[in-house]
Amino acid sequence: MALTIADVELARERLSGVARETPLYPSETFSRLSGRPVLLKAENLQRTGSFKIRGAFNTIATLGDKERGAGVVAASAGNHGQAVAWAAREAGIPATIFMPQDAPMAKVEATRSYGGRTELVGEGFEEAVAAANAHVAKTGATLVHAFEDERVIAGQGTIGLELAEQAPDADTVLVPIGGGGLAAGISLALKERRPRARILGVLCQPGYTIADGIAVKHRGELPSAVLDRTLDGTLSVSDEEISEALVLCVERTKLLVEGAGAVGLAALLAGRVPGTGSVAVVLSGGNIDATTLISVLRHGLTRAGRFLAIRLLIPDRPGELRNVLDLIARGRGNVVSVDHHREGRTTSALQTEIELVVSTRDEEHCQELLAVLAAAGHTVERVGPPA
């Protein structure tokens, strides 16, 4: 039976008192940068840190006694696993979650904290799915698939019902798209409630990416059956663009999002969203590993001219490093780190290479510091991407 709006409405009833109706925040910063009104649907503030609780709970709520007795199993890059573990714990049934070996530890540990038994297998989502299917065949557990399940899609579609009520005048809605369950649910609901709204799915680059939550090789068959008739188009963004959007979101809106949650903002900042009307952006999750967050923030700040990384050769004698640091200090740069390299990188035994990371105000400030060093006779190599 084809999925309908009635299934989404029923899912909303099941989720009442369980899933939060997440807020929709207007963003002055992103509105100014994009030249159009921007609204942020904060699913990163949902239970377990992402939208996934909607589909997971809706599915588990429909299981019969025999299915509950055998427990549930899921394959996940992280967020779906957390949601299934949480929903299973609330239902009083066991859950086994298969995750890629390189899944972010923050998501692995959170899944365990919700009571799920985790198994790390393979390099990606597809290998985790294969292991989950083998577990089903061995134990009789029920597979709660991340997107190849109409109950999951219906649960995610409750976001579309909320958007229709919270942003009735939004011209465009941007939704992250990987396997397609989220985009299918939202587009199904919105096309019924707000048929004139344009719905665009946002994809990440293929392969290894910071948007691990949507890094799947193929869109699901069930979501595709919905999306083929409801989605108005897709956009793609790079990891560089995602990093920039994530940093700006944290700094200006105080909303912490993971890579997959920032792809809509990335597309908006990159100027890829057609039209001039208002845009609602789904921030799908906020479960980013702390070490990944640090790396992304530093990289994003470097691209924005907030960190300046440089290399230069100086005479290997007392006082030369101090002279360089004094030049930077007088230019109001704040040195974050200093590294010396004497072997393999110099042209003379009487030289040493120094590598500096300097905290700066903006790209203009970076250029001022580079000019000061050049005027003092130093040949400086900038490390990393300029803005």
Q: Which CATH number among 1.10.10.60, 3.40.50.1100, 3.30.420.40, 3.30.300.30 corresponds to the domain 5-10+19-48+151-299? A: 3.40.50.1100
**pLDDT given for residue 139 in this prediction:** 94
Q: Which helix (H) or strand (E) covers residue 119, if one does?
A: strand 117-120
pLDDT above 90: percentage of residues in the chain: 79
CA–CA distance, 291 with 104 (Å, rounded to integer): 9
Mean pLDDT computed over 178-195 = 96
Mean pLDDT computed over 242-257 = 94
CA–CA distance, 386 with 38 (Å, rounded to integer): 28
Q: Give CATH 3.30.70.260 domain extents, the chain.
A: 305-383
Which residue carries 């949601």 as its tokens?
A: 83
Residue 56: HSE in the Cβ half-sphere, 13 Å Cα cutoff:
31
CA–CA distance, 182 with 28 (Å, rounded to integer): 26
Using one digit for the tens of pLDDT, what is the confidence trace for 81-130?
Answer: 999 999 999 999 999 999 999 888 888 999 999 999 999 998 888 899 99
Q: Which helix (H) or strand (E) covers residue 280, if one does?
A: strand 279-283
Q: Which CATH number among 3.20.20.120, 3.40.50.1100, 1.10.340.30, 3.30.450.20 corresponds to the domain 53-149? A: 3.40.50.1100
pTM of the model: 0.87
Using one digit for the tens of pLDDT, what is the confidence trace for 264-296?
Answer: 999 999 999 999 999 999 999 999 988 889 888
Q: Which amino acid is at 233?
A: G
* Cα torsion angle, 128, 132, 137, 143, sign: negative
| 9, pLDDT greater than 80 | yes
Q: Which of 246, 248, 244 is nearest to 257 (CA)?
A: 246
Which residues lie across from 96 on neighbouring strands?
73, 117
Mean pLDDT computed over 139-151 = 95
**pLDDT given for residue 207 in this prediction:** 78
**pLDDT given for residue 1 in this prediction:** 53
**pLDDT given for residue 347 in this prediction:** 63
Q: Which two tokens stand for residue 145?
A: 């698939």
Query: Under CATH, what is the fold of the domain 305-383?
Result: Alpha-Beta Plaits (3.30.70)
Using one digit for the tens of pLDDT, what is the confidence trace for 343-371?
Answer: 666 666 678 889 999 999 988 999 999 99
Q: Give CATH 3.40.50.1100 domain extents, the chain.
A: 5-10+19-48+151-299, 53-149
